[in-house]
Every structure is written in C-alpha cells, then in structure tokens.
Amino acid sequence: MSIRQDRMADEIRDIVASCFAGGQMQDPRLQHVTITAVKISPDLQYATVYFRTMPGEDVDTAKRGLDRAAGFFRARLAEALDVRRVPVLKFFYDESIEHGARIEDLLNKI
C-alpha cells in the first residue's frame, strides 16, 4: 500500500474506533466490538474494516450490527476527513489471532 493509503486507513480506523469509545453506539450488538485494522483500496473508494469481539460473543450478530451502522460511520468519516468521496465500508471478522494460534500449535507439534 502507498503512504496515502496507509495514512487514510489509520485515520479511518481511529475515527470508527472512537465512535465506540464515546458512548455514541446505542446498538447492544456492538457493545463488545473492537476495530483492529482497516485496509483501503488503491482508489480510496472501498475500506475493509476488520473487527474482533469478546470471547463468547456472536460474530454474525456483531457483523449485522456493524453493517447496519455503516451509514453512521460514513457520516462521521465525512465530517472528519477531507476527501471528495467517503469510502464504502465493508466489515470482516479478524481471524488473525486464531490463525496465529493454529500456526503456533502446528509448530509446537513438530
């Protein structure tokens, strides 16, 4: 990714994550959600937002809540970013911790 993409992705991550901190989110499906990373397309039109939930929480329910709140997040991004078009947000569960644990388990078995 380019420096502009990295900078924009970091700003989007910070803005979306700050929406959870200020008590702005009223949806109970989003109480235990943490934004972990954002990747943005080269044309800055699409942003992939990765999230995690607390253990035991339903990932599908959290994803539905995030999809429902995408307009709210885009409105906050429009206020904070100086861009012509606010990126479309797509939400995906961040499986990196499980993936890392699986690799570590495989290495321990060797």
Number of C-beta neighbours around residue 56 at 10 A: 6
For the chain, give the percent of residues with pLDDT over 70: 98
For residue 52, the model assigns a pLDDT of 93
Q: Residue ranges of the domains in the chain? A: 3-109
For residue 7, the model assigns a pLDDT of 93
The residues, ordered by sequence, that sit 6+ positions from 39 with a Cβ below 8 Å of its Cβ are 1, 9, 47, 48, 50
Tell me the torsion sign for CA atoms 39, 89, 80, 78: positive
For residue 48, the model assigns a pLDDT of 97
96 vs 60: CA distance, rounded Å: 17
**Amino acid, single-letter form, for residue 16:** V
Q: Give the CATH fold of the 3-109 domain.
A: GMP Synthetase; Chain A, domain 3 (3.30.300)
Question: How is residue 33 written in tokens?
Answer: 């959600």
pLDDT (tens digit per residue) in 11-53: 999 999 998 886 777 888 888 899 999 999 999 999 999 999 9
Q: Chain-wide mean pLDDT for the chain?
A: 90
For residue 105, the model assigns a pLDDT of 85
Report the chain's C-alpha Rg in angstroms: 15
pLDDT band at 98 (very low <50, low <70, confident <90, very high): confident
77 forms beta bridges with none
